[in-house]
Amino acid sequence: MNSDSVKIPQATAKRLPLYYRFIQNLHSSGKQRVSSAELSEAVKVDSATIRRDFSYFGALGKKGYGYNVSYLLSFFRKTLDQDEVTNVALIGVGNLGTAFLNYNFLKNNNTKILVAFDVEESKVGTIIGEVPIYHMDQLEETLAQLKVPVAILTIPQSAAQSITDRLVQANIKGILNFTPARLNVPSAIRVHHIDLAIELQSLVYFLKNYPD
């Protein structure tokens, strides 16, 4: 997708990978059409939202027929640039980092963890989930060679900002931050933040205040 493509709302953009994965599964199972009600049930997004999301892409379902699965699949694949794999670096091979390495991202996605970094000598030089682990001292040099645009941050909070500064220097464009730290980065760098403690706290808050 080119940068001059039509901009869709960010909330819609966030649901795209979700739609894509489900449509991919439908296609694999030989299904040829799907209604917005079925989609809604499967991806847990209300069907009015699905119809509005799809309308941004000009994908219009037919009444009584729904959407054509092959069309949707080729459409989402083009939109998400599924044929172009984005390389990712993982920083910090603790339990959370190891979980990522063992997770087969490429199976359903357009991202691949190409390289991982840690400070612990016993981990350096080993391979987990087909991903080689380098020492943090080799960070700048290795990222420059491999031209990796995205990093997953699974390091202790205390090291988060200093490592982030090094990632910015190494021309990383996006960071998926799993530490509790709020990172300071130049405005051109995109950070998505997933704080596990806050996710849990948020669920508890909703349970207490929005009982069904």
Q: Which residues belong to the annotated binding site for NAD(+)?
A: 92-97
Segment interacting with its own copies (CB under 8 A) among 14-22, 29-37, 55-63, 65-73: 14-22
- Cα–Cα dist 24/14, whole Å: 17
Q: Where is the binding site, in residues?
A: 92-97
Binding mask 137-176 for its own copies (x = CB under 8 A): ------------xx-x--------------------xx-x
Is residue 107 within a helix (H) or strand (E), and if so which, with residue range?
helix 105-108
- Cα–Cα dist 109/118, whole Å: 25
Under rule CB under 8 A, residue 14 binds its own copies = yes
> With contacts defined by CB under 8 A, how many residues of the chain interact with its own copies?
65
Under rule CB under 8 A, residue 130 binds its own copies = no
Q: How do strand 111-118 and strand 127-128 relate by DSSP bridges?
A: unpaired
**Which residues are within 8 A (CB) of 181 and not within 5 positions of it... i.e. 6 or more apart?**
157, 160, 161
Under rule CB under 8 A, residue 187 binds its own copies = yes
Closer to its own copies by CB, 30 or 211: give it: 211
> Phi/psi at 151 (nearest 5 deg)?
-125, 140
Q: How far is CA 197 from CA 80, 161, 194, in A?
A: 30, 19, 9
Write out the residues near its own copies by the rule CB under 8 A: 1, 3, 5, 7, 10, 13-14, 16-18, 21-22, 42-44, 80-81, 86, 88, 94-96, 98-100, 102-103, 105, 108-111, 149-150, 152, 173-174, 176, 180, 182, 187-188, 190-212
